[in-house]
A and B are shown apart, each in its own frame.
Chain A
């Protein structure tokens, strides 16, 4: 490949800029039309793990970091003083295919800053993807980001080359968006989202997220933070300038669906606002996933947390756990957090937090509870709930059976009775249970009793270590 050292420089700049993106799942697509190269593997394959312990599966990169926008939180905003670079379409296509051939990667995750205009950038991205698919016969996985404000024609063309599309929602409310990313308009984000959803529906491949217990499958068309978003009809399509589709050319439009991403901790929104937003994204657009990204202060600004603020990794973790409850356990956002308690308890997982705030619903009798009720018990998962239901058809489930079934006893015991008997210690009072659960954790990880400032280190979870490491790292950098 000519000019490899030029590419090397670009790679450094453009990979560096892309790495704060969190979504890297490459599963769910099967593009096995015989081509020259590639199978988009159905189960995700990790090719390596970077020093931060994340799986590397895709070449995750920006097409360009030259940006005409000025989003407050972004290292590449127009007013920032950083090295700039852009790929040539051919250059990127070749880089991808050569990496793929050597089994470095499973595919490409392509995003970009806004070079000149959204459409200019999208056209160059489209060029690169077409070269990759057509000239190089690549049939591996492609995830393409759609830049807000791109015209519908380009969204469609890019969707025909990509396996998955995403438009980042960026921030949980319109107000925050207006303050931090003034050039990104809510409509510019939501219109392509809706177009993607509608196209998928039209080609009958709109699947959405979650399992059969999830409430997210019920499609919803309500107000989204003041912006009206009806599930579109033909006329509305026309009104928004979205082209009618030709039958037949759609069957391969983004077969792995659509995702989005939200930044956590850059703005003052509560957990409640965040999960309500993400629930509504699932319902309205039938997204496959809504990703969260803990904000890492990279920019000094009066509108943002100070540079020393550690990224809220534990909070991000709790939000992902809550997301899991929405997708697989039949919870709704409204149930998880109400207006009086708009934040999760950082020290306990959201399911326990919910249970303690609704203690009147417990204890639940293992041998009588419905599937839905079983799923709400902390320490009981989808599989163990199913096993309980299956086994008790034959004979009553005994307390000693629960462990083999896969129930996490140390959590579940506070919330259940088994054949009428309660196995927790003492009375069923939220504060007591909370205390017992926390001291159990503390003993397990050999930690000292908590003091207020170091609340987070209570938890020996990986995330907390990470957090500590991050703090260290940042201190090291700044003194």
Chain B
């Protein structure tokens, strides 16, 4: 039997099994129906799955997992498909499991300040439901109108407010998870500190490799009495970066502290007319929130401080509409940059804040070396960079050059004491970069963790953690500082 025939036989077997569990319209297997699922937000990687399943209950998810376990068919979970690292990229011999139909807010408890939601609920929908109670869900990825809470858990997503309010992992109380074998487990607790090992910490950010999140209980916070945003313009990126450190050194933790460079400022301005100073080399957006008095006190302090740090202009949003406009420019920076060039590639390194000027200089040098423009947008408060490389996939070789450029940026982040991904995840995209960040014993430990949850390796295999073999091959191509990272492994 040829491999294509074998695949067809398996597909038929899978689809038959799925039709016992789901109504016919919740099982997709024809090429045109599969097409919308061929990629996530990283569209450079595309692949069709064997089939797509769209369960609408936890029991159906369990039955699907039991079926796939019995048939030894790998499963790739998918939320809203906004991920930027190819985490939800289908496997051609696997099932794509969409959690999009599980989209109910099951319970919102204003007294306990918690919301119990299904995984397909959109991030922003939680805050909207909480609004009448004066509460909100703090982690706010820029994709929050679309991305699902299940995807947020799987990526440990952050947002512009995470310096002060934490990442997804800091705002979860409990998860209901279906294992690779179809078992339902409860991680965390409605009470503080669940007994035993903190599996919720492990599950958060595990990119669908350890379990399927079928329910999340999240913490809600009271909406601050007031939020005010300052916009500071600088004629030098390094000076803007230094100002970030100064604000924190002054003992102030802003609710958000974002930076954009010239190209990003101009793109955003052209796109949403946020009123940004287009001649500036960099702008800082600094949001301060809290009680009315507290915000007034901090606005004065930060204003003085920014001017002392060499800001050429500091503006305070006059009203809520202007505050929203300032943020609209930042939150639409990716699509705005997308208008400048046929394609863009978003990077996600994190570095210690004080290394910002030198890493930005390095990115500029690399931009010249590769002949590709870069726009920089970043969560400056926590050192999370999003360089956006502009390219044209239709020009032969340009995607490959872009990826090489991107890999060099990530290596620069690791060399500066940082990491290859702050919030977008490893997925398929950064699988080789993982070999530069971790040595063989750590990777082996990751695989052992994976095996404890998923002994047959059926959950999103091939993503997030590279095999030692892959790294040995990759290492042979990229010898770092002339040292071999995997000296013990056979090379071929």
A-B interaction? no
